[in-house]
Structure 1
Amino acid sequence: MSSPEKKAQVYHSCASCDRDTWHAIVHSHVESDYEYRADTSYQIVQCCGCRTVSFRKVISDYEAAYPISEDEWEVPSDITCYPSVLKGHRELQDVWDLPDTVRAIYTQSIQAIKDNSNILAGIGLRATIEAICNDRSIAGKTLDKRIDALAKGGLISQKDSERLHAIRFMGNDAAHEIKKSDPKNLLVALRIIEHLLVNIYILDDEADGKLETIIRTFNQFTIYLEKHLTELKSGEEIPLAKIFGKDMRRFHGYFAAHEKALVEAITAGTYTKLSVGKVDRYANSKDTFQHFVVP
């Protein structure tokens, strides 16, 4: 029995391996242009490492061939890969954790970079910042004001805001001056955008329920409160510090505001799982505390 024929191989970019690897040519179809001596080869290739299948289009320009030794010629070629690969870059693995609009403009910006559409890529990265601000309801008439508001609101650091302004400048130049962004600068800008996406969206989703993060919003507070209420007996009248115990550390500067909002919600009748009790000392404390009664 004869051994299977060994397939021809090419060195080709692999999106899964994130580098150039040897690929076997699974199938090839060649079309020739005889008026201008050029061949177009359409190839289905498979990575010899991870076995990922991709498509390769090679245009060989024989009219422009030139000798590189006594018995060898160099034939210039133009190679297109699909899916296209951005070498040295791995897209976010948790991209589906992003809001739809943010994910759409982020992925389209990456595609523009891969396709060397550097003007559109610069605009797209700037638009990604706009999409994040829209999603997080960041106020401001202009993007520079909204970036500053991201930092003032604690969503990003001051250093992060300075980097986002640099992307804003890049996007403005692309949109208003039709100026191409340098490919290397686009990759730096993309890394900054991905750092922003990870911090605002992906790490929050990963940390939620796994790490003891700070409880900032009243909605988070009431959800957490109700988990503790299941451990209490009806008729108990105690302060929130007793209800939460060690978990009081999770409020870190937000507790007074949450307690005030809770009293207002109970008084207005919008929160009914506790009632407002006395203001008194508790457990030999020197200070007085607002108490709450478990129905």
Structure 2
Amino acid sequence: MSEKNTLKNYCNEYDKDTNHIVLGQHTWHSAPEDYDHSQYHKLVKCLGCDNVSLRIEDHDLFFTVQNNDGEWIPDITIKNYPKKLQNHKKIDHDYLIPQLVRNIYKEVLLTLQEDAKILSSLGLRACIESVCNHLEITGRNLAIRINKLSTAGYISKKDAERLHAIRFMGNDSAHEIKAPKVDSLKIALEIVEHLLKSVFILSEQANGYLDTIIDKYELFETLLEKHLTNFNNGDEYPLYHFFEKDWRRVQDFISNFQTELIENINNSNFNLLEVGKKDINQKGDEIQHFIIKKNEIIE
């Protein structure tokens, strides 16, 4: 293999520059009366993974610099096709992101790939809006909705501050037609991807593997049903006794959970328990008991 037929080129698969072999080349030169530049279209193949791509070199012959050997080298701009957002790792398990949110996120990647800075900025802002929509976080503007994301426990206060920065950037692009810097967009993308992973991916992956806090009644009821199979018909205990160690997962929201549970029992929407007696603990707090209806539990 001749060294003249090999060159360093960016590889989409390896996400870095690798050795490529030139499979074919077409050269184009500007007309003498036009701006002096040439283009070299090269079909290249990575010597590591065999990935084939098109490399286009634009040689600006009007601007040249002299190298150490005294040779005059033109300014060269290189583009590779198909394009890829370089030095960016795709989110793993992105199928866990809701369809509409995922579609907007993928469109943002396309705009970044094409270096469309203003559209990228608007798209990142739209990603945040779509997350709020999916979670049914309401408010008359995005600033209020971001704050509600934090108060609802989906993100931290620091995360909210970072999302506000993306909101500012999107507003500047929309109202002032101001393009953000490349580095600003890279950081903003990382922040949005952190939001998507935290809200949709990590929470789903943690379920069943980590003892996460339960804040929804449906999940509370499912976990309660699981624990009730360990008790006998007629057993009467307060809720914390049924949950045992898993009590720590539900106790932060237990007041609301218990109220809804009693309502469902009275309406015959939950038939595994019936409402029992009330005790007073050492602190003087009223403790509600529940009675197992074992015959209703499916083994």
**TM-score normalised to structure 1 length:** 0.86
1:56 is matched with 55
Asked if residue 253 in structure 1 is aligned to residue 252 in structure 2, the reply is: yes
- Is this contact kept in 2: 1:263–1:276, CA < 8 A? yes
Q: Aligned to 1:22, which of 19, 24, 33?
A: 19
Helix, strand or coil for the counterpart of 1:131?
helix
Moved more, 110-119 or 64-73: 64-73
Q: What number of residue pairs does the alignment pair up? A: 289
1:198 to partner: Cα distance: 1.6
1:187 is matched with which residue? 186
Q: CA contact under 8 A between 1:275 and 1:293: conserved in structure 2?
A: yes
Structure 2 stretches of 5 or more lacking a match? none
Cα–Cα, structure 1 residues 93 and 65, in superposed 2: closer, same or farther, change >3 Å?
same
1:167 & 1:80 partners in 2: Cα distance? 29
Is residue 125–residue 167 contact of structure 1 (8 Å, CA) maintained in 2?
A: yes
Which segment is superposed worse, 115-124 or 249-258? Answer: 249-258
Does 2:212 match 1:213? Answer: yes
Mapped contact 2:278–2:286 kept (Cα < 8 A): no
Post-superposition CA distance 1:58-101 (Å, at most 9, x none): 23344655654666331333322233343433231222221112
Deviations 1:127-157 (A, max 9, x none): 1111111111101010111111111111111
Match of 2:19, SS state, is strand
CA distance in 2: counterparts of 1:50 and 1:195, whole angstroms: 30
In 2, the alpha carbon distance for the partners of 1:261 and 1:10 equals 68
- Confirm or deny that 1:79 pairs with 2:100: no
For residues 30 and 50 of structure 2, the distance between their equivalents in structure 1, rounded to whole angstroms, comes to 36
- Counterpart residue identity of residue 254, structure 2: F
Report what 1:197 is aligned to: 196
Aligned-pair Cα RMSD in Å: 2.7
Structure 1 alignment gaps of length 5 or more: none
For 1:133, the aligned partner's letter is C
1: CA distance between counterparts of 2:40 and 2:68?
25
Measured at CA, do residues 28 and 156 of structure 1 come closer, stay the same or move farther in structure 2, by a change above 3 Å? Answer: same
Question: 1:120-135 counterparts in 2 under 5 A?
Answer: 120-135=119-134
Question: 1:277 aligns to what?
Answer: 276
* Identical-pair percentage: 36
SS in 2 for 1:76: strand
Distance 1:219 1:93, change over 3 A: same
**Alpha-carbon distance in 1 for matches of 2:140, 2:216:** 25
Contact 1:276 1:293 in 2 (8 A): no
| TM-score (ref. length: structure 2) | 0.85
Structure 2 SS opposite 1:12: strand
